[in-house]
Amino acid sequence: MTTNHPTPLPHFPALAVLSARQLQRSFGAVVAAADVSLDIAAGERLCLIGSNGAGKTTFVNMITGYLKPSAGQIFLAGEDITALTPREITRLGVARSFQIPQLCLHLSVLDNLLAALHCNRGSRHFFRSARDAASLAQCADLLARFGLAAHAQRMVRELPGGIRKLLDIAMALTGQPRVLLLDEPTSGVSADEKFSTMDTVMQAIESRNGEAPVAVLFVEHDMDIMQRYATRVAAFYSGRVIADGPPRDVLNDSDVQRYVTGSAHHASGASA
Q: What totals of helices (H) and strands (E) does the chain contain, helices first?
A: 10, 10
Q: What is the pLDDT of residue 123?
A: 64
Coil, helix or strand for 16?
A: strand
**Which helix or strand (DSSP H or E) is residue 129 part of?**
helix 126-129
Distance CA 113, CA 132 (A): 13
CATH architecture of 12-93+214-272: 3-Layer(aba) Sandwich (3.40)
**What pTM did the predictor assign?**
0.85
Mean pLDDT (the chain, rounded): 87
Distance CA 44, CA 42 (A): 6
pLDDT in tens, 164-205: 999 999 999 988 899 999 989 988 888 888 999 999 999 999
pLDDT in tens, 69-127: 999 999 999 999 999 999 999 999 999 998 888 899 999 999 999 989 888 776 666 55
Half-sphere exposure of 155 (CA within 13 A, CB side): 5
Distance CA 231, CA 250 (A): 11
- pLDDT above 70: residue 229: yes
Distance CA 88, CA 147 (A): 30
Nearest to 181 by CA among 38, 53, 78, 79: 38
Instruction: Show me where the domains of the chain are located.
Output: 12-93+214-272
Cα dihedral 26, 31, 32, 36 in deg (nearest 10): 100
E-assigned strand segments in the chain? 16-27, 30-41, 45-49, 71-76, 79-80, 94-97, 179-183, 215-219, 232-237, 240-245
pLDDT in tens, 124-167: 665 555 678 888 999 999 999 999 999 999 999 999 888 999 99
